[in-house]
Chains A and B, each alone.
Chain A
């Protein structure tokens, strides 16, 4: 039973390019979360999605960042016109249902480096 799969593991982009991060949740999970981790900091919530719906994007920067979780395929976190401050580890997590004591299962993350 594969866990949460993220790719790529490492992504290098030059300033102004676009970054696309992919996340396949665990089998049977329909809830996806994206978190960002800056060096030596805890994870910061970005967005929560269900299939074809963005439920909570209160942690997403207002510009350049977008996320989707289509009916078919992985969830995508897209960062347009990347800047050096976007360099961070981006983690995806999934859970099986909407409930009180949800346990989030995290992927291994994508390390984004902006040159």
Chain B
């Protein structure tokens, strides 16, 4: 079936560096993508989203890039801080002709930020 997956399961960076987390998706019909951050023992926390009619969207210290040609999504975190250490998931909106929050999550990338 259709799926969303990540290239790298772990990423270690130094505090202050920029981080890039990648995600590949296989459903070419997907039109909405979200990045979530999950800290240990907590539920996923919304970071940023992007619709398929956009290539780039920026938030506070985060940027999401979407390349529909190769079905690739990335999350860039500027000036990474220890508090950014968490598991990051990309998720795809599975509309199937409807429009509600039925998401397909990727496997996740563990980001570790060293002081």
Contact = CB atoms under 8 A, between A and B. Distances in A.
A108 B107 CA distance: 19
B46 A45 contact: no
Interface residues of B, number: 26
A53 to B, nearest CB: 12
A107 B78 CA distance: 27
A63 interface: no
Contact of A95 (B4, B45, B101): B101
A101 interface: yes
A101 B95 CA distance: 11
A13 B2 CA distance: 34
Given A4-B43, A42-B89, A107-B43, A48 B102 contact: yes
B41 interface: yes
Interface residues of A, number: 28
Contacts of B101: 31, 33, 48, 93, 95, 102, 104
A101 B91 CA distance: 13
B100 A91 contact: no
A54 interface: no
A44 interface: yes
B107 A41 contact: yes
B103 A104 contact: yes
Contact of B46 (A43, A100, A103): A103
Interface of B: 4, 32, 34, 36, 41-46, 49, 51, 89, 91, 94, 98-108
Interface of A: 4, 31, 33, 35, 40-45, 48, 55-56, 91, 93, 95, 98-109
